[in-house]
């Protein structure tokens, strides 16, 4: 098995970064929260989420190849940090949380679709994986809406 087939850092970073932030925004939209707590939560998540995810990947791989594990750590960290920073900018510049959620969903799904199209060859598999991410977002929104 080739080392690159073990894990795709960029793919993981895009999928995880998009699904995490959009699910977070879905929860905030469902809770009808003002912009300040949303920006605050996103700033705290900006470094902690990419760092913890990347470190977990590093730890899980370091027994096999430390150099490859570090490359995956850096690739995942940079991709997730960029993705989450992009969504933070969208939220800060948007006039409302609802609008930033809609814009983030569109941009996020386009990024995920781009990544899936680049890595997955079967169109049916792309649709299945995309529907899973959409399902996560809907689930978070419904759960938050039902508890509020």
Domain with 53 in it = 3-147
Confidence of residue 4 (pLDDT cuts 50, 70, 90): very low
> In this structure, is the dihedral angle defined by the CA atoms of residues 82, 87, 90 and 91, taken in order, positive or negative?
negative
Quote the pTM value.
Answer: 0.83
Task: Evaluate whether 133 touches 105 at the Cβ level (below 8 Å).
Answer: no
pLDDT tens-digit series, residues 106-127: 999 999 888 888 888 888 988 8
Question: Above pLDDT 70, what percent of the chain?
Answer: 95
Q: How far apart are CA 115 and CA 112, in angstroms?
A: 5
- Domain count across the chain: 1
Structure tokens at 42: 């996103």
pLDDT at 2: 42
């Amino acid at each position: 098995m080739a080392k690159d087939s073990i894990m795709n850092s960029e793919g993981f970073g895009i999928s995880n970064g998009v699904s995490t932030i959009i699910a977070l925004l879905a929860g905030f939209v469902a809770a009808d929260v003002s912009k300040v707590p949303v920006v605050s939560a996103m700033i705290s998540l900006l470094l902690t989420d990419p760092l913890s995810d990347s470190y977990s990947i590093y730890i899980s791989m370091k027994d096999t190849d430390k150099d490859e594990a570090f490359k995956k750590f850096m690739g995942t960290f940079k991709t997730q940090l960029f993705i989450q920073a992009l969504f933070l900018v969208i939220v800060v510049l948007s006039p409302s949380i609802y609008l930033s959620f809609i814009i983030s969903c569109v941009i996020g799904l386009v990024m995920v679709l781009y990544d899936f199209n680049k890595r997955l060859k079967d169109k049916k598999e792309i649709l299945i994986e995309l529907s899973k991410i959409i399902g996560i977002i809907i689930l978070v929104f419904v759960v938050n809406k039902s508890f509020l």
